[in-house]
């Protein structure tokens, strides 16, 4: 296994950070690595907002479910899908001509672009000895987060990312069996139930060890609970109000 594979295989989410700053040079390198991710037709439909101010991190933590590591990390990055820049670039050449910037396809392109860039950045940060954790909680009160960040039309926060030096060494969370996610030629769901059962056993054992021997629910129980709960149902209205997915 080479150094790159070792880095990827040892990823873990870090939720406790040492009192040590991330330098501006490190931040620029992390974002530069993110910018080298693949992008559909070179659209590069994303922007990143770096937050280091303590009070601003406190506000964003409160809006994101009071996750204390947002306040504790040296740098909190908000990765945004951004079609505003694309719209402005087109206006210089199209004038009043109508566009399809508000299409669902362009929404997907922007969201995927942001995710690809963020994952590149995450790996870059980890290669420097830093740790990260993604924060989907920025979508809990997404309108308030967008207002706080002064996001224009056609820009929305996909997720946040805490970045800093780890002050913990958590175990590596096990993943689904590869046979459950890798298909050859066509999708084969014939062994899905069997593979989920196998993963349930592995996951429960991991969670029990992580909690010091306390009883733990299985992965499928967690997923069933998640599916049965209404989560962020405000997203569709918010996105359409921001100018996304009009057609």
- Cβ neighbours of residue 156 closer than 8 Å, sequence gap 6 or more: 80, 81, 142, 146, 238, 239, 242, 244
Do 157 and 80 meet the contact criterion of CB atoms below 8 Å apart?
yes
Task: Name the percent of the chain lying above pLDDT 90.
Answer: 94
Query: Measured between alpha carbons, how far is residue 51 from residues 48, 55, 60, 146 in Å?
Result: 10, 10, 9, 14
Instruction: Note the pLDDT of residue 215.
Output: 83
Q: Cα-atom radius of gyration of the chain, to the nearest Å? A: 20
Residue 198 structural domain:
178-216
Verify that 145 and 198 share a domain, yes or no.
no
Whether 49 has a pLDDT exceeding 90, the answer reads yes
Verify that 106 and 194 share a domain, yes or no.
no
Verify that 24 and 142 share a domain, yes or no.
yes
Tally of domains within the chain:
2
Q: Does residue 246 lie in a domain region?
A: no
Verify that 109 and 20 share a domain, yes or no.
yes
Verify that 131 and 185 share a domain, yes or no.
no
CA angle 225, 15, 44 (to 5 degrees): 85
Between strands 75-82 and 155-164, the pairing is antiparallel
**Calpha distance 199→220 (Å, rounded):** 9
**Calpha distance 140→70 (Å, rounded):** 14
What is the band of 21 on the pLDDT scale with cuts at 50, 70, 90? very high
Verify that 195 and 134 share a domain, yes or no.
no
CATH number, residue 83: 3.40.109.10
pLDDT digits 0-9 by tens, 167-201:
999 999 999 999 999 999 999 999 999 999 999 99
Verify that 42 and 162 share a domain, yes or no.
yes
Instruction: Note the pLDDT of residue 212.
Output: 85
């Amino acid at each position: 296994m080479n150094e790159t594979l070792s880095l990827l295989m040892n990823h873990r989410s870090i939720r406790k950070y040492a009192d040590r700053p991330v330098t501006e040079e490190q931040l620029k390198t992390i974002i530069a690595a993110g910018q080298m991710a693949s992008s559909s037709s070179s659209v590069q439909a994303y922007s990143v907002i770096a937050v280091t101010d303590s009070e601003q991190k406190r506000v964003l933590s409160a809006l994101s479910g009071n996750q204390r590591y947002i306040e504790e990390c040296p740098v909190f990055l908000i990765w945004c899908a951004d079609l505003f820049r694309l719209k402005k670039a087109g206006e210089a050449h199209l004038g009043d001509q109508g566009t399809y910037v508000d299409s669902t396809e362009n929404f997907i392109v922007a969201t995927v672009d942001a995710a690809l860039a963020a994952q590149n950045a995450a790996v870059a940060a980890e290669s420097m000895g830093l740790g990260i954790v993604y924060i989907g909680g920025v979508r809990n009160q997404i309108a308030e987060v967008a207002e706080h960040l002064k996001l224009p039309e056609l820009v929305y926060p996909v997720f946040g990312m805490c970045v800093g030096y780890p002050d913990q060494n958590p175990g590596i969370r096990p993943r689904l069996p590869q046979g459950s996610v890798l298909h050859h030629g066509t999708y084969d769901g014939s062994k899905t139930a069997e593979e989920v059962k196998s993963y349930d056993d592995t996951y429960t054992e991991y969670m029990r060890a992580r909690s010091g021997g306390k009883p733990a629910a299985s992965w499928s129980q967690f997923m069933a609970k998640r599916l049965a709960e209404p989560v962020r149902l405000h997203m569709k209205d918010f996105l359409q109000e921001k100018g996304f997915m009009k057609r």
